[in-house]
Amino acid sequence: MSKVLFLVSPTLNSFVDRKKGTTGNKIDCAMKHFANAVVSDVQIGAVGGAAALIGRAVAKKANPAALEGLSFFGKAKTIFNAIPKPVKIIAGALIGLSYIVRNYKKGKIEQKYLDRAQFVDNTFVIDKKETKSAAPIKKAE
């Protein structure tokens, strides 16, 4: 179940993953995942919006009455078809790059909070076998 949640939403996965340790650690992990997703979604929306504005400008310049009287989907199709091919390629590349960076950061966030939970519990995973550390770390008094 956890693998399905990780693919669907790392933010939700943070709350049900038993390996994350304390509730505070789970909340911190969820907040980082949410912030990562928001930044990526804003970047993707900005690139898509810029491409749509370019397409709308091209469609209006070619035919000033091109968007009049069309439904929402008709306007969207007209605008998408009016976007120049190089702009579509650049927008697709930037959106793909944003997804790659998002997934890279997702992995780094997961590893950071798993390591933090293992450090707090003094539990370390070596070769897929869970072991306790030889001596618990004592706090300086």
117 or 101, which is more confident: 101
Q: Which residues contact 42 (CB under 8 A, 6 or more apart)?
A: none
The answer to whether position 138 is within a domain reads no
Q: What is the pLDDT of residues 60-104, one digit of tens each?
A: 888 888 788 888 898 889 889 999 999 999 999 999 999 999 999
The answer to whether position 141 is within a domain reads no
Report the distance separating Cα 74 and Cα 114, nearest Å.
Answer: 48
Compute CA 133 distance to the chain's CA centroid, rounded to the nearest angstrom: 34
The answer to whether position 127 is within a domain reads yes
Structure-block tokens of residue 61: 């310049």
Into how many domains does the chain fold? 1
Q: What is the pLDDT of residues 4-21, one digit of tens each?
A: 555 557 777 777 777 777
The answer to whether position 139 is within a domain reads no
Would you say residue 118 has pLDDT above 60? yes
The answer to whether position 34 is within a domain reads yes
Q: What is the pLDDT of residues 48-72, one digit of tens each?
A: 999 999 999 998 888 888 788 888 8
Would you say residue 137 has pLDDT above 70? no
What residues make up the domain containing 73? Answer: 2-132
Report the distance separating Cα 91 and Cα 139, nearest Å.
Answer: 52
**pLDDT at site 102:** 93
- Gyration radius (Cα) of the chain, Å: 23
The model's confidence at residue 28, banded by pLDDT at 50, 70 and 90, is confident
* Three-state SS letters, the chain: CHHHHHHHCHHHHHHHCHHHCCHHHHHHHHHHHHHHHHHHHHHHHHHHHHHHHHHHHHHHHHCCCCCCCCCHHHHHHHHHHHCCHHHHHHHHHHHHHHHHHHHHHHHHHHHHHHHHHHHHHCEEEECCEEEECCCCCCCCC
Give the mean pLDDT of 26-53. Answer: 91
122 phi-psi bin (left φ>0, alpha ψ -120 to 50, beta other): left
The answer to whether position 108 is within a domain reads yes
The answer to whether position 53 is within a domain reads yes
**pLDDT at site 138:** 57
